[in-house]
């Protein structure tokens, strides 16, 4: 009986020792870590479901419509709404209907509700597309007109100059403005200078003023002008011309005229 009592006492002591060990374990760093985890969970729940809704309540704004506006005005309007204006210089579009440096597209779209601080990215117009002026020197005026129209340009002012040598070929484009290779917008005008060797018109019997205007339009220079009496012609009528009608005229030629007194 004495042995049994001792055995029970020993077992009871061992059980007490285990319980105390478990209690010490729970009061050590493991218990601290468990408490920290529970605190984190509580803070997370409160932050996402209680605090953040209170902070963000009422911060939704409507994205303004800045399409068609100039960049400066669009930026000002976007920032007034508490949004961030983003104009990427590499993001642009050619658009004939929207002027240069005006907004073509935007993202997010207009009238969409977003949080303050959201970025609004825009695509800016670089204006109408440009085309390269073709070279039309050395070809006829008609061919030059066709070539320019095919390249989406129009023939502007056409002036004529007399040739400096006795080239009897058909009239051809001697010069053009702007020069070939220039980039212009659609329907821009190209001025042409056409080299000609015109035939001298018949001037005898015509009024001197009228004759002078005809020669000027053809680029033909008037040389010496003299007068003589003629009972059969009205005063100021051309009586003679030094270059016969139908003769090719070049830049070095001058036509002398005799006018009735």
Distance between start and end Cα atoms, the chain? 174
Distance CA 127, CA 124 (A): 9
Check residue 24 and give its pLDDT: 53
The pLDDT score that the predictor gives to residue 23 is 54
Tokens of 192: 């042409």
Q: What is the pLDDT of residue 79?
A: 96
Residue 143: per-residue pLDDT: 97
Rounded Cα distance, 79 and 114, in Å:
13
Supply the pLDDT for residue 247: 94
Contact 241, 210 (CB under 8 A): no
Tokens describing residue 71 = 């960049």
Low-confidence ranges of the chain (pLDDT < 70): 1-37, 39-58, 89
pTM (predicted TM-score): 0.54
């Amino acid at each position: 009986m004495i042995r049994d009592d001792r055995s029970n006492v020993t077992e009871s002591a061992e059980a007490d020792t285990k319980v105390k060990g478990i209690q010490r374990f729970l009061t050590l760093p493991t218990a601290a870590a468990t408490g920290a985890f529970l605190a984190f969970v509580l803070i997370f729940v409160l932050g996402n479901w209680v605090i953040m809704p209170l902070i963000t309540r009422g911060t939704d704004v409507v994205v303004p419509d800045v399409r068609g506006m100039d960049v400066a005005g669009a930026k000002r309007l976007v920032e007034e709404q508490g949004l961030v204006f983003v104009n990427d210089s590499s993001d642009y579009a050619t658009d004939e209907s929207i002027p240069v440096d005006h907004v073509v597209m935007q993202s997010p779209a207009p009238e969409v509700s977003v949080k303050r601080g959201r970025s609004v990215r825009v695509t800016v117009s670089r204006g109408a597309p440009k085309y390269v002026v073709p070279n039309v020197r050395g070809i006829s005026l008609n061919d030059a007109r066709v070539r320019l129209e095919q390249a989406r340009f129009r023939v502007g002012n056409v002036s004529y100059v007399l040739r400096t040598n006795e080239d009897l070929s058909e009239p051809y484009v001697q010069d053009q403005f702007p020069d070939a290779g220039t980039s212009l917008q659609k329907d821009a005008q190209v001025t042409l200078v056409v080299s000609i060797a015109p035939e001298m018109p018949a001037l005898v019997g015509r009024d001197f003023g009228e004759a002078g205007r005809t020669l000027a339009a053809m680029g033909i220079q008037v040389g010496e002008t003299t007068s003589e009496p003629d009972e059969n012609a009205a005063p100021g009528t051309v009586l003679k011309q030094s270059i016969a009608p139908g003769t090719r005229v070049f830049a070095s030629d001058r036509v002398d005229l005799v006018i009735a007194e």
